[in-house]
Amino acid sequence: MLRHARHGGFSLIEFMVTMATSLFLLSGLVYIFMNFSRASTDMLRMVRLQQELRAIMNLMTNDIRRSGYWSQAGEAWVNNKKNAFTTISIVEGNCILYTYDERRDDADGIPDSEDHGGFKLDGDKIRIRTSATPCRNSPCRNCNSGVWWTLNDDNVVKITQLHFRQVSSKAATVRAGAQLQLRRIEIVLGGALLQAPDVTHVLRAAVYIPNAAILSTSQ
């Protein structure tokens, strides 16, 4: 008696079940890959924003730390001469103005044009002041005076906030009729990526001013 040989292989139902299972697994892998890719992109964007803001913050803190420096300060202290470099002005919380003896050549204690520094928020940009017309009165403390340059790359980062705050204290009297004013500038800097506004970051820093201001004991 002859027997029919059974052919090996998948039936149609088995094939369909296998295909459905494979598609389900493949869709899961694609979903995981897309989420991983999205997370990596977000991380890279955040790192880029942090780097941009940190570079700006480092520049600000390093420059503000120099405020009040005068090459003749030691002699002025001995001879009780006024140091015009010590004034730090914060205007409306988002602009800071200060001076320092950049070229170490100001024997008279009056800042020259290149000695005027500052930072301010201008819309969604940070601007740095590189010079101002020498003066002895309030125009030097005007955030619209002088030469200003944009500091951030406005094709990459938009600045969302910039805030300055001065905290000061008076040291013990170190000379008859005079005492030192110790100062700290607190800075808050926030920004967002221009191409991804949902990627935001905020930095905070405190700058201790080593060049203390000299006050009369009556102040």
DSSP for residue 8: P
Contacts of 42 (CB under 8 A, 6+ apart): 199
Q: Residue 1 has what pLDDT? A: 47
The residue type of 110 is: I
- What residues in the chain have per-residue pLDDT under 50? 1-2
**C-alpha atoms less than 13 angstroms from C-alpha of 194 in its C-beta half-sphere:** 10
Query: pLDDT by residue (tens digit) across 50-63?
Result: 999 999 999 999 99
**pLDDT at residue number 142:** 86
